[in-house]
Every structure is written in structure tokens, then in C-alpha cells.
């Protein structure tokens, strides 16, 4: 960017320590760098001390002064404007149109006047640029530290703390948990881990994982889900389970597979009835692939402010990419595509960004997107090259209900209970969540009555008194079935065909 005479460089990052280090590194010791920020006003970028001629000046005054024709900079200088987005935002009380105009003038002089070697570097944790100056701006995204850089930070901590017994395997245990965090966050976590006993062992890994969970949560766009759900906990959905087990073989041998020209798996889209195991499948996928599960909740991604939702999705994707290999679970993805094609520009742009990321994705972020509704599924989503496959999950058939009962009874140490035909007949139209609640309710009854042990008859009685999803959402189910038949998605239950069996 410096070589091609870009007038304004925009760095979006919330780790100010890291961006400052980066700027100092790139520009070297002798380049003049000033800074203006709302708290300190005009200061020297390196020392953070007030700076001579502009001390206490408002930004508009400072920038206007820089645009006077008599101001010349024949040697390169840099002005860092930190967190100034509110001065450019017409909806904010701090908005000052002079700032926008001055930035335009500075950018133009930088482009056309050889004696004006002033580059603006804007740093902010949010991405907000008015259209008038957008054409002069180049964006610089800072990647999270890669494996080599993380190794270097770990080694620095080992050395500084004089820790002698550190082993290679300890580092291998720590490394995956430090991916997807900023340099500053990694530094802090290692400090905390080492301050306890001066060592850095495998024991610290779980503590670090706990901190990481909090930090990912603080990002406000993703959540690190701790899960032990395994594929064996899913009753039925054989086609989907078989499919995921095939992908497991590739994900676990990715480098080998790539050498054989196998494409990196992108992800799977699971759409279907509520309470039928979609979330369970997302969790079990992460356990199966032995990678962390990052959950992106579309509801919390939708920001209050203009541009915030798009920024959130970029941020979420950046964190997931840095944390790869991982499973990125996008819950309620229908919220993103429900506004496509209408007047909701933000949703349309978010969706476009997401689709092109999915299409071009080279990293091992495996996406599991789940949706309750298949209404208005945009055709872009179904095009090849996006998700590898779309599965629909319907209400469980007889055999599946039996399997779901089995998994839930087994998990509650009730493996011995026979699942009678009467029980299967009594639960037609139940989803997995209904079945789980029948098992829980029956166990609760046995405890309260009290009854010596759970039996099939109690399960049948409870089932007969349960209001199932089919009782409560009839119209929704009929509608969903219609959509599934029209769309011809793969049936998650049937490994051989497309048609629903129920
Ligand atoms: P929603 O769309 O409402 O989020 P969902 O399809 O994601 O629902 P889950 O959250 O996966 O449903 O399931 C709800 C509960 O029902 C879980 O606790 C899970 O244990 C149980 N359940 C659902 N389907 C199955 C299944 N196929 N096998 C075993 N348990 C199931």
C-alpha cells in the first residue's frame, strides 16, 4: 500500500497494541508518525506525548490546517487517526462535515502533489467509512497469528519465565487452543497460566480453553461450545450420519486427501422440523472430527447500527478461519436469507459475502448450517460449490423413534427397558425432543410415586398424555412437508433415496 501511493489506509482491529506494533515495525524508527484520537487529541504516535503545533486541537482544525496550500511534506509522514468513526457518522452528535471534506482534500493532494507525502492511517475496531472518501481508502485486515507466530510467543514466555521442563508435546497441546486469538489475548492467557506455578504444562490447557471460551464470547459474534455429544447419541438420521462419517475420513487426513486432489469439504446444510436433532448433529460433527465447535447465532449477529451486521459476519468468519480446523455451526441461518431479494440491503450483502466466502473457502472450517424453515430458500444456496449437500430432517419414522428411545434410555442407565410396539404406536408424530421429554417425565414419575423401576407401560402412559409437536404445530408441519417434497433435498434418514418414508 505504501508503494502504490494509497492516501488513506484503514485498519480494522480491536487490538490496538498489536496494530501499533505493526505500524512501528513497518515504518521503522525514523519516520515521523503523529496521532489524533478523541481522548488525547494530537500526540506523538510513539511516545503518546502531546505534540507541538497541534496540541489540544480538534480534529477538524488539525486536518484543515494540514490542507492549507502552504503545508508541504517532502519526506513521508503519517497521521494515525484512531477511533474517529463518530466524527464521520451523520447520526452522531460529534459529526463534523469539515472532517470528511478535509480528508478528501488531503487524499487528493497526496495523489496529485509530489510535495505532499502525508499518508493517513485510520484505526478502528469498527468498519465505518462514508461513501465520499471510500474511493481513497484501502482496507488492511490483520490476520490472527499463525502457528509459527504462536509458537514464537509460547517460546518467549518460556524463556522470560525461565521454565526449564517444557516439552514439545506441551506446546502441541496448547497450540490449537490459542488459534483464533489476537497476539494480545494470547500474551495475557500465557501470563495467567504461567503466573500460577511458573510452568506451562498440559494442565494449563483446560484453563486456557476456559479463558478462550470467554474471549470468543466477548467478541459478541461467536460462542465456543463445549460438547461431548457423539454420533452414537443420534437416533436415526442414518444417511446424514453416514455422510458425516465419510467426511470425517477426509477431514482427519486432509493433507493426504488434498494430494489426491480431493476437495476440502465445505459444509452441510441441515434443514428441518424443530426438535429433530439438527443441533445435535452439529455438535456430534465437531466431536466426530475432533475439532472445536464455534457457534454463530444469526440472531445476535444482527447489529443495531448500519454496517454492524456485515462487520459482525466478517469478524465471525475471521475468528473461525483463524481457529481452523474447526466446525462453524450457523444456527437459524434462515434469518440471514429471509431478507434476500427484498428491500433489506444489509441482509442481501451479508448473504452475498457469506456465499462467496463459502465458495472460495480453502481453510478447514467445516460449516454446519441449520434452519427450521425452508420457506424462500434462495436458489444461490442450492447451487453447487456452496454447501456440499443439503439434508432435510423430518419427523422420525418408527424405526428411528425406537432408536431415539434407546439412546435416551441408555444415557439414563435404563438400557434394559424393552421398547414395545405400543410405545412406538403411541409416539407417532413425536420429534426427538418429545421423546426425550417422555423419558424424563416417566423417570420423574417413578421417583415421585415412588415406583421401584421404570417400565414400558409408564413410558406409554406418559406418551399418551404428551402434546407432541404434531399436535401443537400441525399447519407448520404440513407446510414443511410440502416444501421438502418440492425441493427434493436428500432425506437425512434414508441412505438410499430422496423420498420421505413416514
Ligand atoms: P430446533 O430447530 O428447535 O433448534 P433441533 O432440530 O436443533 O431443534 P435438537 O436441539 O438437536 O433439535 O434436539 C432437541 C432435543 O431432542 C435434544 O436434547 C436431543 O437430545 C433430542 N433429539 C432430537 N432429535 C434426536 C435424535 N434424532 N436422536 C436423539 N435425540 C434427539
pTM (two decimals): 0.72
Please state the rounded mean pLDDT for residues 424-445.
Answer: 93
Percentage of the chain lying above the pLDDT 70 cut = 93
Please state the rounded mean pLDDT for residues 57-74.
Answer: 80
**Pocket of ligand 1 contains residue 237 by CB under 6 Å:** yes
| Residue in 474, 146, 149, 151 with CA at minimum distance from that of residue 321 | 146
Looking at 361-473, list the stretches that DSSP marks H as alpha helix, in order from N- to C-terminal side.
379-382, 398-411, 421-426, 432-448, 456-464, 469-472
Q: How far is the CA of 280 from the centre of ligand 1 (A)?
A: 6
Atom of ligand 1 nearest to the CA of 234: 28
Q: What is the pLDDT of residue 295?
A: 94
Other beta carbons within 10 Å of 368: 26
Please state the rounded mean pLDDT for residues 182-200.
Answer: 79
Q: What is the pLDDT of residue 23?
A: 92
* The C-alpha cell that represents 321 in the structure block: 478461519
**CATH code, residues 231-393:** 3.40.50.300
Q: What is the pLDDT of residue 202?
A: 65
User: Pocket of ligand 1, candidates 237, 276, 297, 476: which has the most ligand atoms within 8 Å of its Cβ, to mutate?
Assistant: 276
**Pocket of ligand 1 contains residue 227 by CB under 6 Å:** no
The domain over range 8-140 is classified in CATH as 3.30.530: no
Please state the rounded mean pLDDT for residues 227-232.
Answer: 91
How far is it, in rounded angstroms, from Cα 71 to Cα 248? Answer: 63
How far is it, in rounded angstroms, from Cα 499 to Cα 493? Answer: 10
User: Pocket of ligand 1, candidates 235, 284, 329, 432: which has the most ligand atoms within 8 Å of its Cβ, to mutate?
Assistant: 432
Atom of ligand 1 nearest to the CA of 393: 6
pLDDT surpassing 90 at residue 432: yes
Q: How far is the CA of 457 from the centre of ligand 1 (A)?
A: 24
Count of positions (residues) in the chain? 502
Q: Which residue, judged by its Cα, is nearest atom 18 of ligand 1? A: 433
Q: How confident is the model at residue 280 (pLDDT cuts 50, 70, 90)?
A: very high
Q: What is the pLDDT of residue 500?
A: 44
**Pocket of ligand 1 contains residue 238 by CB under 6 Å:** no
**Pocket of ligand 1 contains residue 280 by CB under 6 Å:** yes
Q: Which residue, judged by its Cα, is nearest atom 31 of ligand 1? A: 432
- Cis check for the bond before 302: say yes or no (omega within 30 of 0): no
Equal CATH topology for 8-140 and 398-466: no
| Residue in 232, 237, 234 with CA at minimum distance from that of residue 272 | 237
Lowest mean pLDDT among 14-18, 147-151, 272-276: 14-18
φ and ψ of 330, to 5 deg: -100, 105
* The C-alpha cell that represents 13 in the structure block: 482491529
Q: Which CATH fold would you assign to the domain 398-466?
A: Helicase, Ruva Protein; domain 3 (1.10.8)
Q: How far is the CA of 435 from the centre of ligand 1 (A)?
A: 10
Q: What is the pLDDT of residue 54?
A: 57
User: Pocket of ligand 1, candidates 411, 436, 441: which has the most ligand atoms within 8 Å of its Cβ, to mutate?
Assistant: 436
**Pocket of ligand 1 contains residue 404 by CB under 6 Å:** yes
- Which pairing describes strands 32-37 and 41-44: parallel, antiparallel, or unpaired? antiparallel
Q: Domain segments of the chain: what residues?
A: 8-140, 147-218, 231-393, 398-466
Amino acid at each position: 500500500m505504501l508503494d502504490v501511493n494509497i492516501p488513506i489506509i484503514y485498519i480494522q482491529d480491536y487490538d490496538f497494541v498489536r496494530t501499533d506494533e505493526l505500524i512501528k515495525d513497518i515504518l521503522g524508527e525514523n519516520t515521523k508518525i503523529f496521532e489524533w484520537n478523541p481522548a488525547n487529541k494530537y500526540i506523538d504516535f510513539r511516545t503518546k506525548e502531546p505534540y507541538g503545533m497541534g496540541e489540544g486541537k480538534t480534529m477538524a482544525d488539525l486536518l484543515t490546517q494540514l490542507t492549507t496550500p502552504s503545508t508541504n511534506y517532502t519526506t513521508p509522514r503519517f497521521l494515525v487517526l484512531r477511533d474517529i468513526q463518530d466524527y464521520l457518522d451523520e447520526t452522531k452528535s460529534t459529526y463534523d462535515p469539515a472532517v470528511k471534506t478535509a480528508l478528501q482534500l488531503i487524499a487528493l493532494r497526496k495523489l496529485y502533489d509530489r510535495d505532499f507525502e502525508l499518508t493517513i492511517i485510520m484505526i478502528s475496531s469498527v468498519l465505518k467509512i462514508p461513501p465520499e472518501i471510500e474511493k481513497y481508502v484501502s482496507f488492511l485486515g490483520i490476520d490472527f497469528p499463525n502457528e509459527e507466530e504462536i509458537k514464537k510467543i509460547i517460546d518467549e514466555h518460556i524463556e522470560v519465565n525461565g521454565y526449564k521442563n517444557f516439552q514439545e508435546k506441551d506446546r502441541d497441546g496448547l497450540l490449537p487452543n490459542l488459534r483464533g486469538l489476537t497476539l494480545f489475548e494470547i500474551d495475557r492467557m500465557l501470563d495467567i497460566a504461567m503466573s500460577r506455578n511458573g510452568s506451562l504444562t498440559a494442565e494449563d490447557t483446560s484453563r486456557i480453553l476456559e479463558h478462550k471460551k470467554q474471549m470468543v464470547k466477548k467478541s459478541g459474534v461467536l460462542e465456543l461450545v463445549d460438547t461431548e455429544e457423539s454420533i452414537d447419541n443420534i437416533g436415526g438420521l442414518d444417511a446424514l450420519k453416514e455422510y458425516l462419517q465419510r467426511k470425517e475420513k477426509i477431514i482427519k487426513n486432509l493433507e493426504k486427501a488434498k494430494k489426491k486432489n480431493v476437495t476440502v469439504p465445505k459444509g452441510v446444510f441441515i434443514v428441518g422440523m424443530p426438535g429433530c436433532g439438527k443441533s445435535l448433529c452439529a455438535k456430534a460433527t465437531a466431536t466426530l472430527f475432533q475439532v472445536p465447535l464455534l457457534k454463530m447465532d444469526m440472531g445476535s449477529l444482527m447489529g443495531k447500527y448500519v454496517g454492524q451486521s456485515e462487520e459482525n459476519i466478517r469478524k465471525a468468519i475471521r475468528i473461525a478461519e483463524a481457529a481452523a480446523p474447526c466446525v462453524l455451526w450457523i444456527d437459524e441461518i434462515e434469518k440471514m436469507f429471509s431478507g434476500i431479494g427484498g428491500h433489506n440491503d444489509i441482509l442481501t450483502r451479508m448473504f452475498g459475502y457469506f456465499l462467496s466466502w463459502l465458495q472460495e473457502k480453502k481453510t478447514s472450517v467445516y460449516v454446519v448450517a441449520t434452519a427450521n424453515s425452508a420457506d424462500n430458500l434462495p436458489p444461490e444456496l442450492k447451487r453447487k460449490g456452496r454447501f456440499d449437500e443439503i439434508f432435510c430432517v423430518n419427523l422420525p419414522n418408527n424405526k428411528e423413534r425406537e432408536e431415539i428411545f434407546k439412546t435416551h434410555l441408555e444415557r439414563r442407565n435404563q438400557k434394559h427397558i424393552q421398547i414395545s410396539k405400543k410405545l412406538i404406536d403411541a409416539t407417532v408424530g413425536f420429534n426427538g425432543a418429545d421423546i426425550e421429554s417422555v423419558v424424563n417425565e416417566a423417570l420423574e414419575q417413578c421417583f415421585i410415586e415412588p415406583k421401584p423401576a421404570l417400565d414400558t407401560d409408564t413410558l406409554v402412559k406418559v406418551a399418551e398424555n404428551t402434546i407432541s409437536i404434531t399436535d401443537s404445530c400441525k399447519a407448520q408441519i404440513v407446510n414443511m412437508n410440502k416444501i421438502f417434497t418440492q425441493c427434493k433435498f436428500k432425506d437425512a434418514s434414508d441412505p438410499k433415496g430422496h423420498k420421505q418414508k413416514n
